[in-house]
Each structure stands twice: as structure tokens, then as C-alpha cells.
Amino acid sequence: MQLRCGRHTIDLSHPLVMGILNVTPDSFSDGGQFIDVSRAVEHALRMIEQGAGMIDVGGESTRPGAADVSEAEEIGRVVPVIEALVARTSIPISIDTSKAAVMSAAVAAGASLINDVRALREPGALEAAARTDAAVCLMHMQGQPRTMQHEPRYDDVVGEVRAFLEQRVEACLAAGIGRDRLVLDPGIGFGKRLEHNLALLAHLPELGRPGFDAGLPLLVGVSRKSMFQTLLGRPVEQRLAGGLAVATAAVLAGAAILRVHDVAETVDAVKVAQALRAAGYNARAPIEN
């Protein structure tokens, strides 16, 4: 499976680790650490050395309760970092945004993937993405970041998320964004309880096939998320083991991209999971006693 991503063509037959670079003051895990451009670039280059195949730059926090950021402020945060990274590395750079103007500015600065938690539903976003040659990651989210964790409800979370992703794929195709530029993200932790997250992770293969015989690549992002507080009782700084367990399971289920904070450890987990997958590991095979 290949992803057309601006000037890059990414081979996703081997899972790719996407390193998270939040240039925000209020992200839940690393807010304020990388506001300075030089520190942000240094951290990104470190993640690349550790094996990241893509860096995802975000200038607005999407944690529950996060405050809105203006287009101008978001552009001011992300564009200098993207420009500096494009000058220092040849790997693809992703922009984590929902705003049309930010998408356009980031791609003009060198970003080659648009990672949108709102799946191009904000005014002008679909048209802005279609005017570029960047790849697009469409994510499912119930509600908005400020309120998404206030009583999220589903009758059939897997079916509803799949139907949403199918609708957004159809909208992209109609706008001229080809299938070879699309990635899907079930949105773990975005308007979902623990049981919803677990159901989606358990049914990942179903989510990558919205109306097509051949699947689209899936991105999974669970790094340091609050599901591990609920499941394990662990604070943010103690959630690595849980994240690696999910990363391994996701790769075995066919995930193509893992969006993470802890790159080196995830790269190791992915190598093991990929080796198992290549050897024919089948998580659903019955165990004979």
C-alpha cells in the first residue's frame, strides 16, 4: 500500500511511526515544551534519529477543554517550524489542523500531509485540501474538543464511526482528492469512553474498508491518552507500557501509521509486531488445548 503525500510517495507495507510535535502552550502531555522554534526542531530531529518516518506539527491543542486559537496565531506557531524542518530533513511533515488557512499556509511551507481531527468539515477545509497535493488524514470525532468527553453516546460505535469515515471519503473523492491520498483515523479518545475505544481497536480491520474492496491505510493515535488513566490508573508520564501494548495490537490488526510521543520505544514494538505479522500471526486463530 502506497500513500501519495505531496512530493513523497510513502510505502506503507511496513508500518510508519509518526512523531508528535506540539508547538502549543497547553497540550495535555507536552504543552509549552516546544514553543521555541529551535527546541521544536531539535526535538523533531531527535525523533527522526529514533526512527520516526513522519513528524506531525500541531499549533492548537485538541485536548478536552482546550481553548480556541486564531488562524493567525496558529500559522505563526507552525509555519516557522515546518520551514525549518523541511530545510533540515527529507521525511514528510504533517500539519495537525482543522483550519483552511492553516492548511494552505502549512502546505506552502512544505507540509505534505493534512491531519484533521474534524475530517475537513470546517468552512473551506475540503476545498483548501483539494487545492493541494498533500495527503489527508480523516479522523472521527463526536462533538468538539471542549465538550467531546461530556457523555459521549453511541448505539453502535464501530458502525457509526465506519459510516462517518465512508461519508468523508466520498466527500473527498467528489472534491478531487484521490483515494491514494487518504488515511483514516478512528479517533481514539475523541468523544469516546473506554469501552468505545476498546471496541474500535478490536475492530480496526473493519474501519479501513469504507465501501471499498481494497482498504485505506489506518492511523492509530493512543499515545499517553486518558484511556490509560481509566484502564490502568496511570498518570500521563506512566502510560508508555499501555501505549506500546496498543501499538503492537494495532499493527497486528493492520494499522499503517502510529502517531506517538515515545518514538524509540514504539519503533521497537512495531518491528516486533511487524515480524509477527510477516510470519503469519493471526490473533483470531483458535487455541487448541
Residue 288: inside a domain = no
Look up the domain containing 107 and give its range.
2-278
Question: For 7-46, what is each residue's pLDDT tens digit?
Answer: 999 999 899 999 999 998 744 454 456 568 889 999 999 9
Q: What distance in Å separates the CA atoms of residue 41 and residue 35, rounded to the nearest whole number?
A: 10
Residue 169: inside a domain = yes
Residue 289: inside a domain = no
Residue 287: inside a domain = no
Q: What distance in Å separates the CA atoms of residue 168 and residue 65, rounded to the nearest whole number?
A: 25
Split into its structural domains, the chain has a count of 1
Residue 121: inside a domain = yes
Residue 283: inside a domain = no
Residue 286: inside a domain = no
Q: What distance in Å separates the CA atoms of residue 40 and residue 182, rounded to the nearest whole number?
A: 27
Q: What is the dihedral of CA 206, 209, 210, 213, to 10 degrees?
A: -130
Question: For 59-106, what is each residue's pLDDT tens digit?
Answer: 998 766 667 789 999 999 999 999 999 999 999 999 999 999 999 999
Q: What is the SS3 assignment for 76?
A: helix
Catalytic residue IDs = 225, 259
Residue 285: inside a domain = no
Q: What is the DSSP string of 217-261?
A: PBEE--TT-THHHHHH---GGG-HHHHHHHHHHHHHTT--EEEES
Report the interhelical angle of 71-88 vs 37-49 (nearest 10°). 50
Q: What is the DSSP letter of 287?
A: P
What is the reported pTM?
0.91
Give the ranges where the chain is alpha helix by DSSP (H): 37-49, 71-88, 100-109, 125-130, 157-175, 194-202, 204-207, 227-232, 240-252, 263-278
CATH number for the domain spanning 14: value is 3.20.20.20
Beta-carbon count within 10 A of 94 CB: 29
Residues of the chain with pLDDT > 70: what percent?
A: 88
